[in-house]
Amino acid sequence: MFNGSSCLVLLLAPMEGVGDRCFRRAMASVGGFDQACTEFLRVPGNAHIPSLSKHYQFDETYPIPQAAQIMGSEPALMAQMAQALEARGAPRIDLNCGCPSNTVTGKGAGSSLLKTPERLHEIARAMVRAVSIPVSLKMRSGFSDTSLFRENLLAAQESGIAFLTLHPRTKEDGYGPPAKWELIAEAKSTLSIPIIGNGDIVTAQDAYRMLQETRCDGLMIGRGAVTNPWIFHEIRKEPERKTFDSLERFYQIFIQDFSEEIPMKTRINKLKQIASFQFRKNESLLALRSSVLTASYSSEEDFLAKTLPLLRTHYFAESP
């Protein structure tokens, strides 16, 4: 990805729950980003690697490559998992050092790796040694505070990873206070590997500001892409890609993979989850949001028949 060309690297963030396979496929139909990434695949101490790795499909977002993110605390198992994912066609493996969930951190994985830079190094190093594809690492700025920030950055770089993504909030911050972009600038000036900046980019202007303020090498966007799937095109100055047809296709592809086995209520809730982001886009949509989210729908088609006309009228009414 970082081949010395001047092209800006744009990545779709991993988002467990919201950014599932259906969403990533829908996002791939919109395009504009260089790589997608799965939500974290948890590698517990008793993991059976061959069955666990089958959850990963490299071509879900074709033609956009899709990396696999893994989360765990056992270097040998994480290395085995990385190998299994490489064999399944992964173009890159990402190590999760950011998940704030207590069920995860209680087991020494996710953001709790930020409490022990040497452990973080050990796991990343084992993964790097196990595969020939790039290994990257996605981290928060710390666990309860940023006292080990520099140590974690250096531990990550010394493991041999290809690049680092920084979401500059601590685990304690959760998603609440504004992301501290100045820490992205600090990571950039501390390390020599490429740094991907992440956190609170919701418009193309935010993206340009992050690039200018931090000098980071690329951007990763999560929630901003759910609200505005064309944000990557807007950053690339391709606003003509943002059309109602493209939005309609986004939703058609989103529902295409819904399994008949999933209860209808769950399928409607998945649609409502995406719509809950998109109906925050502007004042007119915000005014309609609660009625859309509380209404009952008989099927996905019923939801789309009632909701898409509202988006057609109000979503494109103003620029972000």
Ligand X SMILES: Cc1cc2nc3c(=O)[nH]c(=O)nc-3n(C[C@H](O)[C@H](O)[C@H](O)COP(=O)(O)O)c2cc1C
Nearer to ligand X, 226 or 310 (CB): 226
Q: Taking Cα atoms as reference points, which of 9, 64, 78, 3 lies closest to residue 216? A: 9
Report how far residue 187's alpha carbon sits from residue 222's, in angstroms, rounded to the nearest whole number.
20
- The least distance separating ligand X from the CB of residue 233, rounded to whole angstroms, comes to 16
- For residue 35, what is the DSSP state? B
Coil, helix or strand at residue 296: coil
- The least distance separating ligand X from the CB of residue 232, rounded to whole angstroms, comes to 12
Site residues for ligand X per CB under 6 A: 13-18, 39-40, 69, 96, 98-99, 138, 167, 198-201, 221-224
Nearer to ligand X, 72 or 222 (CB): 222
Q: Which of 37, 97, 99, 216 is catalytic?
A: 99
Nearer to ligand X, 138 or 188 (CB): 138
Coil, helix or strand at residue 314: helix
Report how far residue 174's alpha carbon sits from residue 141's, in angstroms, rounded to the nearest whole number.
11
Q: What is the CA radius of gyration of the chain?
A: 20
Coil, helix or strand at residue 108: coil
- The least distance separating ligand X from the CB of residue 29, rounded to whole angstroms, comes to 20
- The least distance separating ligand X from the CB of residue 100, rounded to whole angstroms, comes to 9
Contacts of 180 (CB under 8 A, 6+ apart): 141, 168, 169
Nearer to ligand X, 202 or 308 (CB): 202
- The least distance separating ligand X from the CB of residue 272, rounded to whole angstroms, comes to 14
Whose CB is nearest to ligand X? Answer: 222
Tokens of 14: 């991993």
How wide is the angle at C-alpha 58 spanned by C-alphas 14 and 159, nearest 5°? 60
Contact status, residue 227 vs residue 203, Cβ threshold 8 Å: no
User: Does the annotation count 99 as an active-site position?
Assistant: yes
Q: Let me know how long the chain is.
A: 320
Nearer to ligand X, 79 or 99 (CB): 99
Active-site positions read 99
